[in-house]
Structure 1
Amino acid sequence: MLRRRWTSRPSCGGCDERSVDRGAATVWVVGGMSVVMVVMTSVLWLAAAVVARHRVEGAADLAALAAAVVAVDGEQQACAEARWVVEHMDTVLRSCRLSGWDALVEVDVAFGPFGSAAARARAGPVEVKR
């Protein structure tokens, strides 16, 4: 003969066990996942901004060096060299000029919907003192 053990269950007026579950865990999981997604998206946008800044700084430095190398040929040739470097680095040359033997360049790069990153660089001849 089987003996049944009776457990006390909350009385809910003829409903089954599934109706006692209110889905609170699901709400907490969805909320937690939303928070994680917002944090990860913010981290990714910050990383994109840092990468854009490093990229534009490198492009500006190289463009200024390229312009300084041919500064003796004049500003037009120097800025053409700077433009060539900047275009091959997928950035935009905003300005280029020579100040004496120094090449001054400004470079810009767009990233995402938030704007752009800009950098300036200056390069010129090295003075050797003996």
Structure 2
Amino acid sequence: MRKWSQAGERDRGAGTLWVLAFTAIIWLGGVTAMAIGGVRAARHRGDAAADLAALAGAARVPDGAGVACASARSIAAESGARLMRCAIEGRVIDVSVTLTVRVPLGIDAVRVVSRARAGPVGQESVAWRSTTRCTECQ
């Protein structure tokens, strides 16, 4: 009996270390999931801001490019994004907006860029289209 108790004493406290290691892994997984969720939410907000800005600009294209882009810029700003590009070709407006989201784990901030086009509905026109790209992922 004496030999078992002496051998077991060397393992004393190992359970605590295993619990701490698993806790750290679970914590890191949770923080990573929150960071990914935050970036995905920002991407969806950016898409919505680009879509709304393009639609607002398309409604003002007949008033001129300056008025249409100003309307798009205003809607993007109200949506929490920043208008980066506004181009008008015929009656179709193409806008790009950017949204910055802060991410934990020392990554700091990620910039998400969304693009949308809008114009009149008809045979030759584009109703709307949206694409997104992550500038930090390249």
TM over 0.5: yes
2:31 to 25, 41, 62: 41
2:56 counterpart residue number: 66
Paired residue total: 116
2:19 counterpart residue number: 29
1:124 to 119, 122, 125: 119
1:4 counterpart residue number: none
Q: Whole-Å Cα distance in 2 between the matches of residues 52 and 37 of structure 1?
A: 23
1:88 counterpart residue number: 78
Displacement of 1:97 in angstroms is: 1.9
- Secondary structure at the residue paired with 1:70? helix
Displacement of 1:20 in angstroms is: 6.8
Q: Whole-Å Cα distance in 2 between the matches of residues 104 and 83 of structure 1?
A: 12
Q: Whole-Å Cα distance in 2 between the matches of residues 90 and 61 of structure 1?
A: 13
Q: List gaps (5 residues or longer) in structure 2.
A: 103-107, 125-138
Q: Whole-Å Cα distance in 2 between the matches of residues 96 and 36 of structure 1?
A: 44
Which amino acid letter does the alignment assign opposite residue 127 of structure 1? G
Q: Whole-Å Cα distance in 2 between the matches of residues 30 and 58 of structure 1?
A: 42
Please state if 1:52 is matched with 2:42: yes
- Secondary structure at the residue paired with 1:107? strand
Q: List gaps (5 residues or longer) in structure 1.
A: 1-7, 13-18
Displacement of 1:22 in angstroms is: 2.0
Q: Whole-Å Cα distance in 2 between the matches of residues 74 and 124 of structure 1?
A: 14
**TM-score normalised to structure 1 length:** 0.82
**TM-score normalised to structure 2 length:** 0.77
Q: Whole-Å Cα distance in 2 between the matches of residues 63 and 45 of structure 1?
A: 27
Which structure is higher in strand share? 2
Computed over aligned residues only, the root mean square deviation of the Cα atoms, in angstroms, reads 1.9
Q: Whole-Å Cα distance in 1 between the matches of residues 53 and 11 of structure 2?
A: 65
Find the structure with the greater CA-based Rg: 1
